[in-house]
């Protein structure tokens, strides 16, 4: 199979390239200038011409790992976030419609589309009430996928990824803990510590992609991708520092951060029963690997 991975140089994209290259022909597409990697296509981040990507090559699958992935950044620069997370999805699908309509499209969405949940665990039928521009733009991207499926029969699947982490990720909670702890014996975090998240290692995210490629009908499918375990930020921070540096003291400011939901945990019934997915890496193992990577770059 020919698989195109857009955002191939990013966090999740780079893991997807490594995984799918073992058994398939992988083409990479990103904004990074790269004259060495075979089957590499460079595009402009904010004015990408995806027609040039699809008119010259045929793909069986396109996995869109590109876009912005920061709630705070979406609040300070919503136009950029909209372009990267919504407009580019339209551009990619429109190019597929014109040149490669048999290509199946995987859109990496986010649990941010749910906002503050009305019930837990969150299943795929939960109302979508995003509380940040990032979440809204991801919701709009899903609607674009639905439109292209219903109007043009472009086969799509959107993966609502919860809190992904792993070696190489230089943002979000665990990177923030690491950066704040350097040269300090005590750190302070937003919130109360009782906020909860559902963490999934990037290796398991890519495994979920593989399951979807093998079993999805791509009839505008929507799938939660997570571990199915609700963990408090306080407990997760303790787990991280037990591995990295047990001497660090963590306190919380009892201040909410705009755009952040209070509690998240996914209902994974669909991912398990329909797609046969089982996660392979628990948080302890995942954070041990992450800390090993952190110490390797110090």
Q: How many CA atoms lie within 13 A of 169 on its CB side?
A: 27
Q: pLDDT-based confidence at 218, cuts 50/70/90?
A: very high
pLDDT for position 265: 98
Is residue 69 one of the residues assigned to a domain? yes
pLDDT for position 128: 99
Mean pLDDT of 168-177: 96
Is residue 150 one of the residues assigned to a domain? yes
Cis geometry, peptide bond prior to residue 121 (ω within 30 degrees of 0)? yes
CA distance 243 to 125: 37
Q: pLDDT-based confidence at 207, cuts 50/70/90?
A: very high
Is residue 173 one of the residues assigned to a domain? no
Is residue 125 one of the residues assigned to a domain? yes
Q: pLDDT-based confidence at 140, cuts 50/70/90?
A: very high
Q: What is the pLDDT of residues 25-54, one digit of tens each?
A: 999 999 998 777 899 999 987 788 999 999
pLDDT for position 41: 95
Q: Are 200 and 236 in contact (CB under 8 A)?
A: no
Total domains present in the chain: 1
Is residue 297 one of the residues assigned to a domain? no
The total of other beta-carbon atoms located within 10 Å of residue 242's CB is: 13
CB proximity list for 98: less than 8 A, separation 6 or greater: 51, 54, 55
Q: Are 60 and 72 in contact (CB under 8 A)?
A: no
Positive or negative CA dihedral for 215, 69, 188, 196? negative
Query: How confident is the prediction for the chain on average, in pLDDT?
Result: 96
Q: Are 220 and 156 in contact (CB under 8 A)?
A: yes
Q: Which of 106-115, 226-235, 258-267 has the lowest mean pLDDT?
A: 258-267
Could you give the angle at which helices 11-20 and 202-215 cross, rounded to 10 degrees?
Answer: 60
| H-only helix segments in the chain | 11-20, 51-54, 71-76, 78-82, 88-99, 133-152, 172-181, 202-215, 233-244, 269-273, 283-297
- Please give the C-alpha separations between residue 262 and each of 69, 119, 123, 197, in angstroms, as whole numbers: 18, 12, 17, 8
- pLDDT of 256 above 90: no
Range of the domain at 221: 2-168+201-228+264-281
- pLDDT of 20 above 80: yes
CA distance 146 to 37: 33
Is residue 286 one of the residues assigned to a domain? no
Positive or negative CA dihedral for 49, 53, 59, 65? negative
Is residue 186 one of the residues assigned to a domain? no
Q: Which residues of 261-278 are buried (b: 16+ CB within 10 A; e: fewer)?
A: beebbbbbebbeeebebe
pLDDT for position 298: 84
pLDDT for position 10: 96
Q: Are 279 and 162 in contact (CB under 8 A)?
A: no
Q: pLDDT-based confidence at 257, cuts 50/70/90?
A: confident
Q: For position 155, which CATH number holds?
A: 3.40.50.720
- pLDDT of 16 above 90: yes
pLDDT for position 124: 99
Is residue 250 one of the residues assigned to a domain? no
């Amino acid at each position: 199979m020919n698989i195109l991975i857009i955002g191939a140089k990013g966090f999740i994209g780079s893991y997807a390239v490594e995984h799918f290259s073992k058994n398939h022909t992988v083409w990479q597409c990103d904004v990074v200038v790269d004259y060495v990697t075979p089957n590499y296509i460079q595009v402009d981040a904010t004015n990408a011409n995806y027609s040039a990507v699809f008119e010259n090559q045929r793909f069986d699958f396109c996995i869109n790992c590109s876009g912005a992935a920061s709630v705070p950044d979406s609040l300070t620069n919503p136009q950029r976030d909209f372009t990267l997370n919504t407009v580019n999805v339209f551009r990619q699908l429109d190019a597929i419609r014109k040149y490669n309509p048999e290509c199946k499209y995987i859109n990496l969405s986010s649990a941010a589309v749910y906002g503050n949940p009305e019930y837990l665990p969150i299943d795929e039928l939960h109302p979508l009430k995003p509380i940040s521009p990032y979440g809204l733009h991801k919701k709009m991207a899903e609607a674009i996928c639905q439109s292209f499926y219903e109007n043009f029969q472009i086969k799509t699947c959107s993966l609502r990824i919860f809190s992904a982490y792993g070696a190489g990720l230089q943002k979000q909670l665990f990177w923030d803990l690491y950066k704040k702890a350097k040269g300090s014996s005590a750190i302070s975090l937003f919130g109360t510590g009782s906020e909860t998240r559902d963490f999934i290692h990037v290796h398991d995210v890519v495994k979920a992609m593989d399951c979807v490629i093998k079993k999805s009908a791509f009839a505008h499918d929507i799938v939660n991708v997570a571990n199915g375990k609700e963990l408090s930020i306080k407990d997760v921070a303790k787990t991280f520092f037990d591995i990295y540096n047990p001497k660090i003291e963590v306190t919380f400011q009892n201040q909410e951060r705009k755009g952040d939901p209070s509690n998240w945990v996914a209902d994974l019934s669909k991912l398990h029963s329909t797609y046969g997915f089982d996660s392979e890496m628990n948080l302890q193992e995942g954070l041990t690997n992450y800390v090993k990577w952190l110490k390797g770059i110090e």
